[in-house]
Amino acid sequence: MKFFTEENSSLAEEIIGRYPKPRSAMIPLLHLAQEQEGWVTDEAMAEIAELVGTTSAEVLGTCSFYEMFKRHPVGKYVINICTTMSCALMGAGDLMEHAELRLGVKSGSTTADGMFTLEGAECQAACTEAPCLQVNYRHQYRVTTNQFDALIEELSSSDHEVPEHGVLSQIRQHIPENRFVGVVPPEDVTAAPVWLNDNGSDQ
Amino acid sequence: MSEMTGTPIAHAPGFIANETPRIVTARFDYADSHTLERYEATDGYQALRKALEQTPEEVHSEVTDATLLGRGGAGFPAGVKWGFCPPGVWPRYLVVNGDESEPGTYKDRLLMELDPHQLIEGCLIACYAVGLSQCFLYVRGEMAVAQERVATALNDAYDAGYIGKNILGTEFSVDIVLHWGAGAYVVGEETALIESLEGNRGMPRLKPPYFPASIGLYGQPTIVNNVETLANLPWIVQHGASAFTAIGTESSPGTRMVAVSGHVKRPGVYEIVNGTTTFRDLLYGADMCGGIRDDNQLKAFVPGGGSAPWFTPDQLDLPFEASQVGPQGSMLGSGAIMVMDETADIPAAALTLTKFYAHESCGKCVPCREGGTWLEQILRRVVEGRGTPRDLELLIEVGETICPGDFPHAAVPSKGIEAVPFPYRMTTICFVGPSAFAPIHSALTLFREEFEAKVAGNEHPTMIEVAVDV
C-alpha cells in the first residue's frame, strides 16, 4: 500500500528531479506528506526514505528537528500566537490567556472537536503589527481579544479562505520542460559554465 | 509632537514610505507590485539585459565597487564574499537565505511578498557574475504567502524566458528552485541552511573548514546571500556602483530596510539611508516612528535584532554605521529595533528573548544546549519572584561558559559604566548560544536595580527538601 496518492507520487518525482542529490527533497516531501494527511505518519516517512534513497530513521531524524512537522494529528487550524519580545511587549501574554479560555485548551493542545490546535510560537516576522498570530502559517495582525473571538467564529464557519493544516503554499513551482536546464550530480561537472568560458574567463 | 509625514502603504502592512531614496521598496506603492506585468512596466529585468551585455567579471566588479554590505546580519561585503570561491572548482551554487527569523526582523518577508521579481532578477545577476550554475531559493517555512508569491513569480519568469535555458537568447542558463524550510531559527545561519538544504537536521558546520564559498552545498563552492542583499543588485547594475555609493557613507553606502517594533507611536518597516540615519531620526522622526507611545520616556532598545546587546537613550545619536555601533558595544545585525518605554519590565522583556534562543538551540554545542535552558530557567524564577540574589551571579556564571571574558555592552555615563566593544568570544559554533546570554547581560548591566528588586528578601535558595531514610 503506497502512502502518496498517484498525483502526489508524480509530484514527488518532479520535486526530486530538481535537486542534484535526491536527499535535498526531503523537507519538501515531508511538507507534501503533511499536506496529504494533515500530519506526518510513519508510513509517509518510510516511503519518503525509499524515494530519496535513505532509511526511515534518517527521515525521522530530519522530520523531528523541525517545528512545523507534526508527528501526531493536530487540529484543522493550527493557531500560533507569537510570544517573542515585540509581541510580548504589546500584549501577547493577555492574548494567549484569552485564547486558552476561549478555546478551553491549554497552549500546546487541540480542542475536543479537532478544529483548533493552540500553540505559543516564536517570532513570526510581523513585529510591527504586534501582537500577531498565524492560522496555518497565515498572518493576523494587531489581534485584540474581540478579534480573536471573531476569528474563531469565522474559522468555525465555512466563510473564509484559510486552507486546512498541512497545506502551505497553494501555488506550486512549475518548471516547463523546454525551459528546464536540468541537474547534473556535482561530481560529474568538471568545467566552468559555458557563459564564463565564452567571455574568456579563466576562473 | 509635530504631525507625522511618512505614509503607511495599505497593501503593504507594516511598511511606511518616506522621503528617503527607495532602492528596494520602490514598487511597494503599487497594489500589484508582485506581478510580472508591474515589474516589467517599472524597468524590471532591464538590469539583467544590461548585465548580459557585460562580461561576468565586469558585473562582479560593479558589485564589489558598490560595497554592498550583506543585509542578513554579519554585514560582510557581497562582492568580496563572491570572490572567495576557489578558482577552477565547479559547479558553484547560489543559496538564497530567505529564512528570516531573527526576533524583530521582517524585511525579507516583505521583499518576497511584494517584489519577488526583484529578488529573482538579483539571483540571476549573481549567478551570471560568479558562474553559479544552479540557484536554490530557501524561503522560511512559516511564510506561506511569501512562498505563494515567489512560486508565482518563478513560474511567470520561466514562461517569459527570464529563467532556465538560454536566458534572453544568450548562453546564460540557470534554474532557480524554490525550496522551503519547516521551522528552525538556526537554519538562518548559512552552514545550517546548507545542511537543511541537503535534507538534514539544521545544525551549523564548523568554520573552518566549512566556509560555504569554498566548501558549501554538496561540498561545492556556494554563495549564500540574504534576500535584501540580492534585491539591491538590479538597481546597482542598472544605475552603477557610483550612484549607489553616492547614497549613505563610504563604508556603509546605499539604503537598508529596518523594522521598528515595540513601544513607538508608529511601528513600521522603513527604508533608510545607510550610514547617516541615526537611531534618534528613526525613533523620533516625524516621517518615521514619531516618538515613544503616549509620549513616554524611552528606557531601552535592541538595535540590531534579538541577538544584539541593548542600547539606552545615551546611544540615540549613533548612526547606522557598523564602525560606530561596534565600539559602543552592539551591532546593527539584521536591521530590527525593538523599543521599550518606561513602563517595560526589563527582566521580563529579557526573558522573552532568552527563552527564544533557548528554544531554538539546535543541540549541537553543549554550552548552548544546556546553558541556554539554564539561563531561561534561572531568569524565569527571578522574573516570577522566586529567585535569590545568588541567581543574579549564577546568570553571569552560566553566560560566561558560553561567552568567556568581557561581554559587549553599552556605556551608562550616569552610572560610570563604560562600553565594552562588540564582538564577544564564544565556546559555540554559531551565535545562537551567545544570543541567549546577550539580553540577560545587557539587562543586568544596564538595569541591575530591577533585578535586585525582584530578588530582594529571597535570601535562601528555593529548593525542595528531600528526606532520605537511611
pLDDT tens string B382-391: 999 999 999 9
Given a cut of 90, whether residue A179 has pLDDT beyond it is yes
pLDDT at A203 (0 to 100): 45
Is B103's Cβ below 8 Å from some Cβ in A?
yes
Mean pLDDT computed over every residue of chain B: 96
**Do A48 and A24 sit in the same domain of this protein?**
yes
| Nine cell digits for residue B362 | 539546535
Given a cut of 70, whether residue B2 has pLDDT beyond it is no
Cβ contact, residue pair B163, A179, below 8 Å: yes
pLDDT grade, residue A63 (50/70/90)? Answer: very high
* B window 242-261, beta carbon within 8 A of A: 259-261
Given a cut of 60, whether residue A201 has pLDDT beyond it is no
Q: Is residue A183 part of a domain?
A: no
Is B211's Cβ below 8 Å from some Cβ in A?
no
- Range of weakest confidence among A151-165, A183-197, B214-228, B447-461: B447-461
**Domain coverage including residue A87:** 77-156
Query: Of A197 and A123, which is predicted with more confidence?
Result: A123
Facing residue for A126 by CB, picked from B14, B102, B179: B14
Domains B250-343 and B345-458 equal at CATH topology level? no
Q: What value does the mean pLDDT take over residues B410-422?
A: 96
Is B83's Cβ below 8 Å from some Cβ in A?
no
pLDDT at B192 (0 to 100): 98
Cβ-based contacts of B141 with chain A (< 8 Å): 31, 66, 68, 137, 168
Which pLDDT tens digit goes with each residue over B240-284?
999 999 999 999 999 999 999 999 999 999 999 999 999 999 999
- In degrees and rounded to multiples of 5, residue A110 shows phi and psi of -115, 140
pLDDT at B467 (0 to 100): 60
Q: Is residue A85 part of a domain?
A: yes
Cβ-based contacts of B178 with chain A (< 8 Å): 173
Cβ contact, residue pair B141, A137, below 8 Å: yes
Quote the CA–CA distance of B361 and B357 in Å, as a whole number: 6
Cβ contact, residue pair A85, B181, below 8 Å: no
Given a cut of 80, whether residue B153 has pLDDT beyond it is yes
Cβ contact, residue pair B352, A84, below 8 Å: yes
| Residue type present at position B95 | V
Mutation site for B-interface testing, chosen from A55, A65, A69 by largest number of B Cβ within 10 Å: A65
Given a cut of 90, whether residue B466 has pLDDT beyond it is no
Cβ-based contacts of A26 with chain B (< 8 Å): 199
DSSP-based three-state secondary structure for B110: helix
Q: What value does the mean pLDDT take over residues B221-234?
A: 98
CATH code for position A92? 3.40.30.10
Cβ-based contacts of B348 with chain A (< 8 Å): 88
Cβ contact, residue pair B161, A21, below 8 Å: no
* Neighbouring C-alpha atoms within 13 Å toward the C-beta of B402: 32
- DSSP letter string, B124-180: HHHHHHHTEEEEEEEE-TT-HHHHHHHHHHHHHHHHTTSSBSSGGGSS--BEEEEEE
Cβ contact, residue pair B13, A129, below 8 Å: yes
Cβ contact, residue pair B184, A62, below 8 Å: no
Q: Where are the domains of chain B?
A: 24-245, 250-343, 345-458
pLDDT grade, residue B77 (50/70/90)? Answer: very high
Indicate whether this complex's ipTM tops 0.95.
Answer: yes
Cβ contact, residue pair B144, A138, below 8 Å: yes
| CATH 3.10.20.600, domain B250-343, yes or no | yes
Distance from CA of B427 to the nearest CA of A (A): 23
Is B457's Cβ below 8 Å from some Cβ in A?
no
Q: How many helices (H) and strands (E) does chain A have?
A: 8, 4
Quote the CA–CA distance of B259 and B8 in Å, as a whole number: 13
**Do A36 and A102 sit in the same domain of this protein?**
no
Distance from CA of A20 to the nearest CA of B (A): 9
Sheet holding B132-139, edge to edge: B175-180, B132-139, B92-98, B222-226
Mutation site for B-interface testing, chosen from A15, A86, A183 by largest number of B Cβ within 10 Å: A86
**Do A34 and A86 sit in the same domain of this protein?**
no
Cβ contact, residue pair B352, A85, below 8 Å: yes
pLDDT at A158 (0 to 100): 87
- In degrees and rounded to multiples of 5, residue B272 shows phi and psi of -120, 160
Q: Is residue A187 part of a domain?
A: no
Residues near A25 by beta carbon (within 8 Å), at least 6 away in sequence: A12, A15, A16, A18, A19, A51, A52, B199
**Do A120 and A53 sit in the same domain of this protein?**
no
Mean pLDDT computed over every residue of chain A: 96
Tell me how crowded residue A139 is: count the other CB atoms within 10 A of its CB: 22
Distance from CA of A105 to the nearest CA of B (A): 22
Cβ-based contacts of B103 with chain A (< 8 Å): 84-86, 122-123, 127
pLDDT at A197 (0 to 100): 76
Cβ contact, residue pair A85, B175, below 8 Å: no
pLDDT grade, residue B129 (50/70/90)? Answer: very high
Mutation site for A-interface testing, chosen from B82, B134, B150, B310 by largest number of A Cβ within 10 Å: B134
**Do A81 and A134 sit in the same domain of this protein?**
yes
Number of A/B CB contacts below 8 angstroms equals 246
| % of chain A with per-residue pLDDT over 70 | 97
Cβ-based contacts of B336 with chain A (< 8 Å): 127
User: Counting Cβ atoms within 10 Å, is residue B358 exposed (0-12), middle (13-18) or buried (19+)?
Assistant: buried
Distance from CA of A119 to the nearest CA of B (A): 14
Facing residue for B144 by CB, picked from A26, A137, A196: A137
Cβ contact, residue pair B263, A200, below 8 Å: no
DSSP-based three-state secondary structure for B188: helix
Q: What value does the mean pLDDT take over residues B346-375?
A: 97
Given a cut of 70, whether residue B468 has pLDDT beyond it is no
| Residue of A58, A12, A16 lying closest to A35 (CA atoms) | A12
Cβ contact, residue pair A173, B151, below 8 Å: yes
Q: What is the pairing mode between strands B222-226 and B92-98? A: parallel
Cβ contact, residue pair A190, B198, below 8 Å: no
Q: E strand or H helix at B96, and its extent?
A: strand B92-98
* B window 415-454, beta carbon within 8 A of A: none
**Superfamily for B24-245?**
NADH-ubiquinone oxidoreductase 51kDa subunit (3.40.50.11540)
Q: What value does the mean pLDDT take over residues B17-38?
A: 96
pLDDT grade, residue A1 (50/70/90)? Answer: confident
| Nine cell digits for residue A37 | 494527511
pLDDT at B290 (0 to 100): 97
Chain B CA closest to residue A61: B201
Given a cut of 50, whether residue B131 has pLDDT beyond it is yes
Is B160's Cβ below 8 Å from some Cβ in A?
no
Give me the number of domains chain A comprises.
2
Mutation site for B-interface testing, chosen from A134, A169, A188, A190 by largest number of B Cβ within 10 Å: A169
Cβ contact, residue pair A21, B198, below 8 Å: yes
Q: Is residue A103 part of a domain?
A: yes
Which pLDDT tens digit goes with each residue over A66-104?
999 999 999 999 999 999 999 999 999 999 999 999 999
**Do A152 and A94 sit in the same domain of this protein?**
yes
Quote the CA–CA distance of A120 and A38 in Å, as a whole number: 19
CATH code for position A20? 1.10.10.1590
Mutation site for B-interface testing, chosen from A165, A179, A190, A197 by largest number of B Cβ within 10 Å: A179
Cβ-based contacts of A124 with chain B (< 8 Å): 142
Quote the CA–CA distance of A89 and A97 in Å, as a whole number: 15
Cα dihedral sign, B224-B82-B277-B247: negative
Contact A18, A175 (CB under 8 A): yes
What is the CATH class of B345-458? Answer: mainly alpha
| Nine cell digits for residue B244 | 549607489
pLDDT at B14 (0 to 100): 94
Q: What value does the mean pLDDT take over residues A134-138?
A: 98
Q: Is residue A23 part of a domain?
A: yes
